[in-house]
Amino acid sequence: MRLLPVVVTGLLTLAFAYYVYIPLPDAIQEPWKLMMMDAGFRATMHLASLKAWLGFDHYITSIRQSMDGFDGMVKRSESGAGVMPGVKVSDVTFAGVPVRVYEPPAGGEGHLRRGLMYLHGGGWALGSAKKGSHDAINRMLSDELNTVVVSVEYRLYPEVHFPVPYLDCLAAAKHFLSPEVLARYAVDPERVAVAGDSAGGNLAAAVSQEISTDDTMSVKFSVQALIYPVLQALDFNTPSYLQNQYVPILYRTLMVRFWLQYLGADLNLESQFIANNHSSLHHSKITPELRARLDWTVLLSPKHKKSYKPVIVEKGSEGVLKAVPGLLDVRAAPLLAGPEVLAKCPRAYILTCENDVLRDDGLMYARRLQDAGVTVTSEHYEDGFHGCLSFIAWPFEFDVGKRAVRGYFDWLKNNL
């Protein structure tokens, strides 16, 4: 009988190790920390799916509740890293859209400050302008760079679909850029940025394109900072999608699901999207010119193309483009914008990570902006993974996250 507890303990330990362990690229530092974090996230996803299957909350609602607990733990552990006593924080609305405004200590009479609008990530379904690392980083940025930061609490799935999150961000941006609002916050109209990470990088790029081409706007963004942005949904077989499809925390299948949710599409289309059946050659609306705008065989360097081959389907899913028109809408997929639009965009900072399915989206956009005559700083982290910028505090503190935050801050300091 004494042997039974030992056997049970051993089996449980093996089961736990089997669940936690996943092979990771050699470049990733502190792999076990990333594995533990990913295991927690996967467990949260599985539990949320089970609750939804049993008829309880929507699985996204359950995930949000779990993330609220994690954000609270991170906030308590920051030991002042995200607490800036001199920064004034206000929760207000811009054009009816909730925003959090961070104001640094007031300067001298007539002193104008930088301005930055931030759009948080989370697959258009998760995350918040007011919680966790987004809140901490924006407080630090406001204090260190003497910047008025406006973080937008745009509406999320499942409550809304595209284009609502984009329209929320655009409305807030136009309000912020109005001369009277900039004057109210003592922001220099020549020094206003838009920034965002992941899905927020998508929204930042799309809003930047719209503002840049809107002749009614007297003030426009001076720069844009896109942190591992997601920019297209026509090719889920780019080299980075294939190379990193099983690398946490953003698996290829999860990114496809985020896209389907955002565009209000049938989630059963996941396998069709992964196979690129939704962007097959027989779709006449996807013209050769449009395909060239995300042709990674031309837009990527040999280093990132490696030995991968394009996945081009001759004839795929019928009626997908009619059912999911957002696939070709540049407001959802900024990488599809024409060169005449990109040429009007502001200087850009694009952060990419080698171990991220979205790596090639960012690299292709950087190349297309440069080809259109825009000055681009492309910062690439060989040991980076998706979401690393957010992991700067215990218990999931990564050196690459701290370096990424520092690189982002330094670029803004020198370019805004």
- Name residue 224's beta-bridge partners: 194, 348
Percent of residues, the chain, with pLDDT higher than 70: 91
DSSP β-ladder status, 187-197 and 147-152: unpaired
Residue 198 among the catalytic residues: yes
Mean pLDDT of the region 181-205: 98
Give the amino acid at 58. Answer: H
Contact 113, 148 (CB under 8 A): yes
Structure tokens at 155: 């509406």
Higher pLDDT, 73 or 405: 405
pLDDT of residue 179: 97
pLDDT in tens, 83-104: 677 899 999 999 999 999 999 9
319 by Cβ neighbours in 10 Å (0-12 / 13-18 / 19+) ranks as exposed
Q: Is the peptide bond before 395 cis (omega within 30 degrees of 0)?
A: yes
Is the CB of residue 115 less than 8 Å from the CB of residue 188? yes
3-state helix/strand/coil string of the chain = CCHHHHHHHHHHHHHHHHHHCCCCCCCCCCHHHHHHHHHHHHHHHHHHHHHHHCCCCCHHHHHHHHHHHHHHHHHHHCCCCCCCCCCEEEEEEECCEEEEEEECCCCCCCCCEEEEEEECCCCCCCCCCCCHHHHHHHHHHHHHCCEEEEEECCCCCCCCCCCHHHHHHHHHHHHHHCHHHHHHCCEEEEEEEEEEECHHHHHHHHHHHHHHCCCCCCCCCCEEEEECCCCCCCCCCCHHHHHCCCCCCCCHHHHHHHHHHHCCCCHHHHHHHHCCHHHCCCCCCCCHHHHHCCCHHHHCCHHHHCCCCCCCCCCCCCCHHHHCHHHHCCCCCHHHCCHHHHCCCCEEEEEEEEECCCHHHHHHHHHHHHHCCCCEEEEEEEEEECCHHHCEECCEECHHHHHHHHHHHHHHHHHC
Q: Please, which residues bridge with residue 393 across strands?
A: 396
**φ/ψ (deg, to 5) at 94:** -115, 115
pLDDT attached to residue 261: 97
Token couple for 86: 């001199």
pLDDT tens-digit map of 277-323: 999 988 889 999 999 999 999 999 999 999 999 998 988 777 888 88
Look at residue 357 in the predicted model and tell me its pLDDT. 98
Choice among 133, 198, 212, 280 that is catalytic: 198
pLDDT for residue 69 is more than 80: no
> Of 317, 383, 386, 390, which residue is the catalytic one?
386
Give the span between the Cα atoms of 205 and 228, in whole angstroms: 11
Residue 386 annotated among the catalytic residues of the structure: yes
CA angle 283, 286, 288 (to 5 degrees): 115
CA atoms of 135 and 150, how far apart (whole Å): 11
Q: Are 77 and 394 in contact (CB under 8 A)?
A: yes
Q: How confident is the model at residue 40 (pLDDT cuts 50, 70, 90)?
A: confident
The span from the CA of 363 to the CA of 353, in Å, is 10
Decide if 312 contacts 276 (C-beta within 8 A): yes
Q: d(Cα 50, Cα 388) in Å, to the nearest integer?
A: 28
pLDDT per residue over 215-239, tens digit each? 999 999 999 999 999 999 999 999 9
- The answer to whether residue 1 scores a pLDDT higher than 60 is no
For residue 212, indicate whether it is catalytic. no
CB atoms within 10 A of CB 383: 18
**By C-alpha distance, which of 278, 364, 286, 371 is closest to 329?**
286
pLDDT greater than 90 at residue 74? no
pLDDT reported for residue 14: 59
Amino acid 77: pLDDT: 44
Orientation angle between helical segments 399-415 and 132-144, nearest 10 degrees: 40
Q: In the block, which residue shows the tokens 């690392």? A: 133
The pLDDT confidence band at residue 396, using thresholds 50, 70 and 90, is confident
CA dist 243 and 54 (Å) reads 35
Q: Calculate the alpha carbon distances from 156 to 153, 263, 307, 311, 325 in Å.
A: 9, 12, 38, 32, 19
* pLDDT value, residue 11: 56
Active-site residue (options: 135, 356, 360, 383): 356
Q: What angle do CA 75, 186, 117 make, to 5 degrees?
A: 45
